[in-house]
Amino acid sequence: MTTIKIDGHGLSIGQAVAAASREGSDFTVSEDALTAMNASRNLKLEILATGKPIYGVTTGFGDSVNRQISPEKTARLQNELIRYHLNGTGPLASDEVVRATLLIRANCLARGNSGVSLPVVDLLLDFLRHDILPTIPERGSVGASGDLVPLCYLAYALTGQGEVRHRGEIRRAADVLAELGLEPVTLEAKDGLALINGTSFSSAFAVLNTEAAAGLADVADICTALASEGLLGNRGHYAPFIHDEKPHGGQGASAALIHSLLEGSELAMTYDQVVDLNDPLDGRHYQKLTRSIQDRYSLRCAPHVNGVLRDMLDWVRTWMTVEINSSSDNPLFDPSTGAVYSGGNFYGGHVVTAMDSLKTAVAGVADLLDRQLALLVDEKFNNGLTPNLIARVDDDDTEAGLQHGFKGMQIACSSLTAEALKHAGPASTFSRSTEAHNQDKVSMAPIAARDARNVIELTREVAAIHLLAACQAVELRGVDEMSPRTRAVHTRIRKEAPFAAKDRQMDGDIAAVVEMISSGAITEAARAGGDL
């Protein structure tokens, strides 16, 4: 079992994803983090004793900042804060999102600037250890002051109230804690605000999206390689020289992967091989080429589309790593100077921009694959394949004219792509003035993050339909002429999704391939086929 050290500085996206998937992780808080948390809590209590106003500790929240209360009321104020935000709507967040939220919030508080009491972080980690998952509605946060509404459901469960999901059942939090011998948190001054006044819910979606999008980048290149074979494409389009001369790292990586996937293919030939298929002019002034020496954009420019996603992931990872290792609440305490600072670290500006950008790039990949599929099924453009990829049949066969193959699959794929593109609009431009114009500029980070999740899920389905069609196409061409690596992908898909010899229900095939994409089985098959 891997132990993840919580210190507010070193949490990686990979660790957060592993914890979200419950892959054998345990958690410990570093000694430095314990010291820092104690110091900021002690400073909070010292200032509290002076009677000076501290935002959200001895004052109301947001626009109510000008109303100060006595120190005796501070604990109750934190509980009231949680209760009045329990108004989330929509579906409950997935187990993976909730686990990631618990870990990220614990890590941000362990950085040691938030003035929280130690039992808060301890119980967050106990929830992870025992897989106690607060039921958190997805909707209701504007992404500043942090994810107030969803994180209130987390905080409510820590106090032994509300409901949690445990061992597959939704139960009262108090009952689960008592059963496991865990004590609910008794909130003191600032604890409630520290729990809810941050970007951890949005960030949980974002880190999971980042990992999922990285997997899709590989799958998109595998799709392109298979489509190139199905369409008798020119693999010279992915030659290193071309992409070295426009040296975007992601573009080069995509081109290199497609090029290596097609190594040894007799269907997608090199540029010279394609040229040599055509007869020499021999003094003639004109001829129509036997085979085009240049493919349509959706094949030829695939590295330029998917490469954008690959390059974008580099800076999205950087931004999100900073975000999940930050003090994202307000106010913050500095024990070295004895000062308390009010600011806006709860603002999800980097999260929303990362997710708005990521979903746009992923939707672009969905559109790319949809265009490749349109070429594969259309007899006017698929270089001699059957209409809609139906099984070959003689004109005088009794089945002639009855089958429509992948016509319906292409319609479904077009719908999925349109929906992905619809979600790609930037959420950050929809800032609303809220809370009596105190929160007069907000990030909308959780909306962007949820949209990105939706676009990724839709793009997986687009890729699944594409892969099924491409496998049908190469089987019509001749599997023996495929490259070793694309043939390995074909073999893996055919284990669960057979060749469509006649029209049949195919939603089960789509679901099976979506699962292969999500689990990494498609990428692993491509690697194994090349002995990597």
| Backbone dihedral angles phi then psi of residue 427, each to the nearest 5 degrees | -75, -25
What percent of the chain is helix, strand and coil (3-state, nearest 5)?
55, 5, 35
Set 55, 153, 156, 347: catalytic member:
55
Tell the residue number behind the tokens 């496991």, with chain if given.
180
DSSP states along 94-160 = PHHHHHHHHHHHHHHHHTS-S---HHHHHHHHHHHHHT-EE--EEE---SSSSSHHHHHHHHHHHTT
Amino acid at 437: H
Select from 182, 128, 164, 118 the least CA-distant residue to 3: 128
Fill in the amino acid letter for 24.
G
How far apart, in whole angstroms, are the C-alpha atoms of residue 103 and residue 115?
Answer: 18
Which tokens sit at 87? 């108004």
Cβ-contact 434, 132 below 8 angstroms? no
Whether the upstream peptide bond of residue 145 has omega within 30° of 0, thus cis, is: yes
What single-letter DSSP state applies at residue 285? S
Decide if 506 contacts 500 (C-beta within 8 A): yes
> Would residue 55 show up in a list of annotated catalytic residues for this protein?
yes
Distance CA 374, CA 377 (A): 6
Secondary element (H or E) of residue 509: helix 507-519
Nearest to 96 by CA among 136, 60, 39, 40: 136
Nearest alpha carbon to residue 524 among 489, 484, 500: 489
Bridge partner residues of 28 (DSSP): 5
- Token pair belonging to 137: 């509605």
Residue keyed to tokens 């790593």: 321
- How far, in Å, are 31, 86, 367, 414 from residue 298 at the CA level? 54, 47, 9, 15
Distance CA 387, CA 401 (A): 10
**Helices H, strands E: what count in the chain?**
20, 9
Q: Give yes or no for a contact between 503 and 401, defined as CB atoms under 8 angstroms apart.
A: no
* Three-state secondary structure string covering 214-260: HHHHHHHHHHHHHHHHHCCCEHHHHCHHHHHCCCCHHHHHHHHHHHH
Residues making up the chain, counted from first to last: 532
**Active site members:** 55
